[in-house]
């Protein structure tokens, strides 16, 4: 029986995991926290999950390896030196695992982290060449892993390790060897990942920007110059994964609370997180809410903006929305979702409570405002530096969303602040951050920079950038 590789992709975290099976036995590589998807697939295909492999201790999500092992009896494999406190098999160069027609050879591939490993898959039905390599965060499609996740090694040191890992080990495999990474476009573990889910060694040699560096020194500079700040929750998630996270069914569901209780909890430090679409939030929301729409990279932004420890009150469109929100938050280690607003915004209005709102402004209106030399607004661009480099509104203030909470002092509170990102998701989050910080005269640019660029291309805003 052939070796079957199944790919699971979790879009909200840009996280890829894999179930590899042969002759009734299966292994899971880099599982997400909610592990029922693997158990259901194994049940459907009469498979027994006997092996769980982590390419490293993940920083951007909480892994389900511990729960999956408890529910299946499978053995967990990690790179040597991980420091994991749960039962596991440490691996090093030369170690291998075999079941059915599948053989895994383990490679120590440090650089993204010290304990990182890659797994080389050979189908024993054709031993003439390896079939694929599961590279974790060592090699992505179009990128490589960020080198700043170690508490004992600096970014330059890790980047040099990664250069030698790639050129001395990974890139030595035949060019048609498939590459299956742990992340895709949108992940915080790299900067220029492709939206493609897999690649080959040959294609990455030709097209991956990081692999074009002509020396180790150039590679180190490429990876460490202008390295985006490390999200603060990354270190916490690494430790959760080192210990093994608790089973999800141990997290109690949030309780419905009415408007008066929401206000009381807010006064005690709880944060209202509104997960509805942008326009619903803009029209009316609980004062002091943080807006993070469930439609995008919700959990990642919640971890960066709210943190892992704040008590959270959810506002959603319905109960299913609330449950989905809690699940996504648990995937990044946020387990303090105590409550949700009973009957949503309708319940808040029925209680006679005031609503806050965020004005929306079109690109045409912004263009007219910018022509007024006496009362020009501040244009705040919350995109990442790589996006800004490809084009920006003239004279805008550039503060990436992940840094906004600590840099609000750079903005003039006495002027209208018009906030934009690429299309509107991140700028809505930014409006809620500024409103919570006391900014009253703000507006969200509908359509974001994409709409501005289209207007400029039409010649309407050509004179102002």
**Residue 137 and residue 109: Cα distance in Å, rounded?**
10
Q: Give the containing element (helix H, strand E) for 255.
A: strand 255-257
Active site residue 189: no
**Residue 27 and residue 119: Cα distance in Å, rounded?**
12
| Tokens encoding 408 | 């609000």
Nearest CA to 79 among 154, 165, 5, 10?
165
| Residue in the block written with tokens 């420091």 | 83
**Residue 351 and residue 260: Cα distance in Å, rounded?**
8
- Supply the DSSP string of 296-356, one letter for each residue: SSHHHHHHHHT-SSS-EEEE-SSHHHHHHHHHHHHHTT---EEEEETTHHHHHHHTT---B
Measure CA of the first residue to CA of the last residue in the chain; give whole Å.
Answer: 61
**Residue 412 and residue 431: Cα distance in Å, rounded?**
15
**Residue 318 and residue 295: Cα distance in Å, rounded?**
14
- Strands 290-291 and 199-200 turn out to be unpaired
- Supply the DSSP string of 27-76, one letter for each residue: EEES--S-THHHHHHHHHTT-EEEEEE-SS--SSS---HHHHHHHH-PEE
DSSP state for residue 415 in the 8-state scheme: S
192 near 24, Cβ under 8 Å? Answer: no
Nearest CA to 257 among 355, 357, 358, 353?
353
455 near 367, Cβ under 8 Å? Answer: yes
| Residue in the block written with tokens 């990102």 | 421
Q: Choosing from 12, 102, 189, 421, which is the catalytic residue?
A: 421
Q: Give the containing element (helix H, strand E) for 158.
A: helix 155-168
Residues with Cβ within 8 Å of residue 23, at least 6 apart in sequence: 1, 99, 100, 101
- Give catalytic residue positions: 421
């Amino acid at each position: 029986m052939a070796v079957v590789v199944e790919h699971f992709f979790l879009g909200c975290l840009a996280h890829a995991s894999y179930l590899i099976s042969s002759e009734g036995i299966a292994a899971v590589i880099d599982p997400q926290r909610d592990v029922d998807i693997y158990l259901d697939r194994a049940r459907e295909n009469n498979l027994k999950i006997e092996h769980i492999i982590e390419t490293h201790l993940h920083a951007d999500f909480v892994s389900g390896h511990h729960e999956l092992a408890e529910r299946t009896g499978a053995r967990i494999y990690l790179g040597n030196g991980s420091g994991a406190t749960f039962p596991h098999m440490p691996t090093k160069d030369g170690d291998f695992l075999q079941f059915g027609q599948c053989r895994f050879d383990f490679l120590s591939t440090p650089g993204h982290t010290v304990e990182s490993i890659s797994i080389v898959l050979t189908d024993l039905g054709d031993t003439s060449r390896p079939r694929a390599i599961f590279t974790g965060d060592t090699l992505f499609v179009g990128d490589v892993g960020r080198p700043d996740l170690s508490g004992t090694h600096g970014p330059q040191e890790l980047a040099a390790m990664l250069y030698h890992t790639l050129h001395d080990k990974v890139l030595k495999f035949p060019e048609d060897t498939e590459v299956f990474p742990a992340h895709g476009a949108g992940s915080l573990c790299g900067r220029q990942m492709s939206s493609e889910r897999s690649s080959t060694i040959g294609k990455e040699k030709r097209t991956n920007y990081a692999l074009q560096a002509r020396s180790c020194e150039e590679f180190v500079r490429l990876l460490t110059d202008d390295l985006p700040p490390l999200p603060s929750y990354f270190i916490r998630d690494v430790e959760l994964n080192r210990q093994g996270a608790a089973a999800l069914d141990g997290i109690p569901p949030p309780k419905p609370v009415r408007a008066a209780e929401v206000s009381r909890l807010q006064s005690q430090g709880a944060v209202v997180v509104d997960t509805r679409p942008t326009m619903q939030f803009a029209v009316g929301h609980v004062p002091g809410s943080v807006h993070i729409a469930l439609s995008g990279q919700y959990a990642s932004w919640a971890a960066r903006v709210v943190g892992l420890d704040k008590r959270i009150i959810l506002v959603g469109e319905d109960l299913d929305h609330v449950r989905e929100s809690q699940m996504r938050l648990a995937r990044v280690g946020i387990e303090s979702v105590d409550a949700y607003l009973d009957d949503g915004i309708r319940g808040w209005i029925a209680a006679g409570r005031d609503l806050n709102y965020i004005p929306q402004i079109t690109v045409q209106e912004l263009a007219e405002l910018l022509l007024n030399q006496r009362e020009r607004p501040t244009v705040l661009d919350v995109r990442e530096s790589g996006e800004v480099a490809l084009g920006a509104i003239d004279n805008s203030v550039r503060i990436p969303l992940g840094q906004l909470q600590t840099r609000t002092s750079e903005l003039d509170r006495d002027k209208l602040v018009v906030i934009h990102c690429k299309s509107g998701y991140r700028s809505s989050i930014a409006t809620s951050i500024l409103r919570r910080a006391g900014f009253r005269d703000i507006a969200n640019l509908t359509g974001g920079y994409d709409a501005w660029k289209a207007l400029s291309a039409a010649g309407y805003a050509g004179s102002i950038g």
